[in-house]
A and B are shown apart, each in its own frame.
Chain A
Amino acid sequence: MSQVGSHDAAAEFMGRASNAQKLQALLHRYPWLSSAAVLLIASISFSFFNENFLTPGNLSLILQQVAIVGAVAAGQTLIILTAGIDLSCGAIAIFSSMVMAKTFMGDPYVEGDGLPVLVAFVIGLLVGTFAGWFNGYLVTKFKLPPFIVTLGTLNVFIALTLIYASGRTVTTEEMDPFLLQLGHIINIGEFKVTQGVIVMLLLYIILAFALRFTGWGRHVYAVGDDINAARLAGIQVNRVLLSVYMVAGLVFAIAAWIVIGRVTVASPNTQPDLNLDSITAVVIGGTSLFGGRGTIFGSLIGAIIVGVFRNGLTLAGVDLYYQVLAVGLLIIFAVTIDQWIRKART
């Protein structure tokens, strides 16, 4: 292809491309395809092992189980698209859930000490957004690698959660019904999903819209793709990065609401694996850790794949340890595919 735009040469090149190259080119264009294929194959395989797998009841259960990780992965995707990473995402979610519950409850020994539930809720959302801003500020202002920044703030937010909770769980009885709202079940035909699942899906739809159809979304991709090119094109790179970390923080705080709905208490020790599980979902969903490439719905598929593997292997009677092993192999598989796709020429 040395001659510029020789159509014949290009056509000839495409004609000579092997099937592997064509597949590579296809996946290069639609990186979520491989994860969708994995999901499909896994679901069909598991349905052979256990006839209950593909029932609406079981599929509803899987969705309920992935609602939290799925919501956090939505925010995580934004950050990874900018070639960043957020190791503190789960800590932000748990911190926000603690703030929501405890500012509502106040001092449990003083009657009516807490704030109105909506005020407490909004404060929780603001705390999550502010935590995201703090990460983004360190990344943009001091040019620190996001990995290091969020490794630090992971510990900071865990510590703040423990300090604020003062080692105490806010129990279901002390909680306002509004905070528990997302645990309620909605029937959609045969499916029974929690409202948390619906909120998670809404998050995906809104973020997918913003990424696909707005200038902001395009700038997010451009910054992750080549930050210098984006800067020279006149994009205010730091503002884009800061907004991404803040939106992600807000998403983590909304995930906190889903957490409370699911576990029905606010505890500093809940969901310890959330940080890494969200990254797992994003990576399995085909988003490149090098930034600029991937789709947000891929992360939803990624989260569901992890849920399907855990659930399917359990139904097939596979030991828990082997489930962890399977997820580990999945991650390695996903990253290998990503590396291979990135080499695609056409």
Chain B
Amino acid sequence: MSKSAVLTASNVVKTYGRVVALDGADLELFPGEVLAVIGDNGAGKSTLIKCLSGAEVPDNGSIEIDGSVVTFRKPQDGRDAGIETVYQTLAVAPALDIASNLYLGREIRKKGPAGSILRMLDSSGMKRKAKDHIAALGIGTIQNMSQAVETLSGGQRQAVAVARAAAFGQKVIILDEPTAALGVRESNQVLKLIESLRERGMPVILISHNMPQVFEVADRIQVMRLGKRAAVVTPKTHDMKDAVAIMTGAMKVDAKDQTLKPVR
């Protein structure tokens, strides 16, 4: 029962000039859970996950993975440590095909001299593996890996981005507003993807504005307020009204009523 956290952030501080974005924020992510991070605009949720993924360097505080302290200077550092982030702005190249996008920046070369001397890419191998990764997430609607990403619907594009994260994320997957630009049906597809990530035991941090979605998929919900963790609740102990109240500061939750330990 006493699981230890995969990812821990303690007392993280980040300022932009005189603006204090994070004022000693904490976060614990446990194995196999979906942790939602919610909060009003400017509450610091985006900055917090940027610090976790390496896109921003915190001014103070520490980040630990599996109990050992890590220091990220750039996104590549976070990625090397096993943290994959799916950005709100869909970091896919529209004119490239699905397989190329999945392996963008980590292309596989052919074996033998064709790869080592001529530096040729193993395109068919990447397509085959891309297909496996897509299939592993249960995305049956994408079949042709040579299809350009721009020909896909918004939900399918998001699925490609999530599949890329799932394929390479060793420890943690962070999803930043994955449904913000999507319609209802497509959002449901993405929520299913999150659930299939959880089934595979992959811990997920979900940043979202969409309360119903958060309450549908999250195991625990961390509410941010004024650059700090205001409370951690679960969909079982609190409802959406409570969450809004905590976000706005109208409600305080005692430590004993919070859910700081894993529920799964």
Query: B185 near A233 (CB under 8 angstroms)?
Result: no
Measuring CB to CB, which residues of chain A are less than 8 angstroms from any residue of chain B?
1-7, 29, 209, 213-216, 218-219, 221-222, 225-226, 228-230, 232-235, 292-293, 345-346
Q: Nearest chain B CB to A146's CB is how many angstroms away? A: 19
Task: Tell me whether chain B's interface is mostly helix, strand or loop, or mixed.
Answer: loop
Q: Does any Cβ of A come within 8 Å of B201's Cβ?
A: no
Query: B121 near A215 (CB under 8 angstroms)?
Result: yes
Query: B121 near A233 (CB under 8 angstroms)?
Result: no
Which residues of the partner chain A approach B90 to less than 8 Å between Cβ atoms?
Answer: 229
Q: Does any Cβ of A come within 8 Å of B87's Cβ?
A: yes
Q: In whole angstroms, how far apart are the Cα atoms of A208 and B75 in the complex?
A: 31
Encoded as 1 (CB less than 8 Å from any A CB) or 0, chain B from 85 to 128 comes to 00101111111100011001111010000000011110100000
Which single member of A5, A221, A226, A233 contacts B105 (CB below 8 Å)?
A233
Given contacts A5-B141, A214-B119, A222-B104, contact A234 B79 (CB under 8 A): yes
Q: In whole angstroms, how far apart are the Cα atoms of A219 and B106 in the complex?
A: 10
Q: How large is the interface on B (under 10, 10 to 19, 20 to 34, 35 or more residues)?
A: 35 or more
Q: Does any Cβ of A come within 8 Å of B142's Cβ?
A: yes
Query: B92 near A229 (CB under 8 angstroms)?
Result: yes
Q: Nearest chain B CB to A207's CB is how many angstroms away? A: 14
A-B contact count (CB 8 A): 93
Which residues of the partner chain B approach A233 to less than 8 Å between Cβ atoms?
Answer: 91-93, 101, 104-105
Given contacts A2-B183, A225-B96, contact A232 B107 (CB under 8 A): no
Which residues of the partner chain A approach B75 to less than 8 Å between Cβ atoms?
Answer: 232, 234
Encoded as 1 (CB less than 8 Å from any A CB) or 0, chain B from 131 to 144 comes to 00000000111100
Which residues of the partner chain A approach B148 to less than 8 Å between Cβ atoms?
Answer: 29
Given contacts A2-B183, A5-B153, A235-B104, contact A216 B119 (CB under 8 A): yes
20 contacts between A and B (CB under 8 A): A2-B186, A4-B159, A4-B186, A4-B189, A5-B139, A29-B148, A213-B121, A214-B118, A214-B120, A214-B121, A216-B119, A218-B107, A221-B95, A221-B96, A226-B94, A234-B105, A234-B106, A235-B105, A292-B93, A292-B94
Which residues of the partner chain B approach A209 to less than 8 Å between Cβ atoms?
Answer: 118
Q: In whole angstroms, how far apart are the Cα atoms of A234 and B83 in the complex?
A: 13
Query: A218 near B104 (CB under 8 angstroms)?
Result: yes
Q: In whole angstroms, how far apart are the Cα atoms of A6 and B118 in the complex?
A: 41
Which single member of B91, B109, B141, B185 contacts A232 (CB below 8 Å)?
B91
Q: Nearest chain B CB to A77's CB is how many angstroms away? A: 15
